[in-house]
């Protein structure tokens, strides 16, 4: 089906002149959500997600040893460079103090996330992105930086949610629009199975170390407190298979001390395993939507289709989620 999807359009960096405004939040009222769904940027993003999804059908996440070697595979050098950038952000967690002297460890939202890790990201983002973009794409810095800064959680609210995950996906979309990455299956597949997996590992670690709260959690009727796209891409990987037995989905366990990324080669199963890491109690109580999918949907193709529709409605169509998205510039805010 990959060939039935058109290429994502290309935006020349030479067209990014000073008169083009940098992206900023534009969704303030419910009527803005309806407008957003009819913009060029929204449709570019939808096509981008569809192409990523098609690229991973029938493929698995590389073995952990291959994931550690960012240069392995036939993808572009930019993929390797972005993984290296994410590795750098991960190392900052080791450098940060656990908490300020004389303070107690907070149950949720460790201020060190804002005062050290976030502050460092803000201060060093220009250097990190200039190094990554290189001179060829340096003009695009102010158009991709707002997405980069909003991808890892809120430094003000000390939380993380599907809006931040979407912002990172939009960051990848902007880079493909200007052809840092290319709309070809090897790059698209690597963006999901290598870059996005590396991003997940980083964000899970940020959540654990800094005790980040879920951003606007939907509770038991939401798909997941923190993420959505792992389920979308994971069901895409399995789309051509029949549904596996329910116990194989809901009974996922990982060895003590192991990591979901190291234990599974499918993003859907990784995300389920992550839930078992952070939540207790019956699965049908704390993750009712995922339980319903596992017990009532018989084919992965139907799961994948339904999750696209749910993502459009429950993530991209909810003002409380998308009101913080930077829009304009490369993700064009025109009808």
Give the pLDDT band (50/70/90) at residue 189.
Answer: very high
Give the class (CATH, top level) of 23-100+107-327: mainly alpha
In this predicted structure, the answer to whether residue 218 has a pLDDT above a threshold of 60 is no
For residues 15 and 85, the model is more confident at: 85
Query: What is the pTM (predicted TM-score) of this model?
Result: 0.93
- pLDDT (tens digit per residue) in 5-56: 999 999 999 888 776 889 999 999 999 999 999 999 999 999 999 999 999 9
Q: CB under 8 Å to 181, separation ≥6 — which residues?
A: 76, 78, 79, 172, 175, 187, 188, 191
């Amino acid at each position: 089906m990959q060939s039935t999807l058109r290429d994502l359009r290309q935006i020349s960096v030479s067209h990014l002149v000073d008169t083009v405004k940098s992206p900023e939040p534009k969704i303030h009222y419910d009527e803005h959500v309806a407008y957003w769904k009819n913009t060029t940027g929204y449709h570019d993003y939808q096509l981008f997600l569809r192409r990523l999804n098609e690229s991973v059908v029938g493929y698995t996440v590389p073995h952990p040893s291959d994931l550690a070697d960012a240069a392995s595979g036939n993808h572009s050098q930019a993929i390797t460079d972005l993984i290296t950038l994410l590795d750098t952000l991960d190392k900052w967690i080791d450098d940060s103090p656990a908490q300020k002297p004389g303070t107690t460890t907070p149950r949720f939202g460790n201020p060190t996330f804002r005062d050290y890790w976030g502050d460092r990201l803000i201060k060093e983002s220009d250097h990190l992105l200039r190094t990554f973009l290189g001179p060829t794409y340096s003009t695009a810095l102010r158009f991709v930086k707002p997405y980069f800064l909003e991808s890892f959680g809120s430094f003000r609210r000390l939380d993380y949610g599907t809006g931040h995950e979407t912002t990172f996906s939009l960051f990848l979309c902007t880079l493909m629009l200007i052809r840092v990455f290319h709309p070809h299956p090897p790059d698209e597949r690597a963006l999901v199975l290598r870059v996005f997996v590396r991003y997940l590992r980083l964000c899970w670690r940020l959540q654990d170390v800094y005790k980040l709260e879920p951003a606007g959690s939907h509770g038991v009727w939401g798909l997941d407190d923190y993420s959505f796209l792992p389920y979308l891409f994971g069901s895409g990987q399995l789309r051509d298979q029949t549904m596996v037995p329910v116990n194989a989905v809901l009974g996922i366990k990982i060895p003590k001390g192991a990591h979901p990324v190291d234990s599974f080669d499918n993003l859907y199963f990784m995300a389920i395993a992550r839930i078992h890491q952070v939540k207790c109690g019956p699965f049908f109580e704390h993750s009712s939507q995922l339980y319903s999918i596992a017990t009532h949907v018989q084919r992965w193709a139907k799961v994948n289709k339904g999750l696209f529709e749910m993502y459009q409605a429950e993530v991209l169509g909810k003002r409380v989620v998308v009101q913080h998205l930077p829009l304009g510039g490369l993700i064009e805010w025109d009808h």
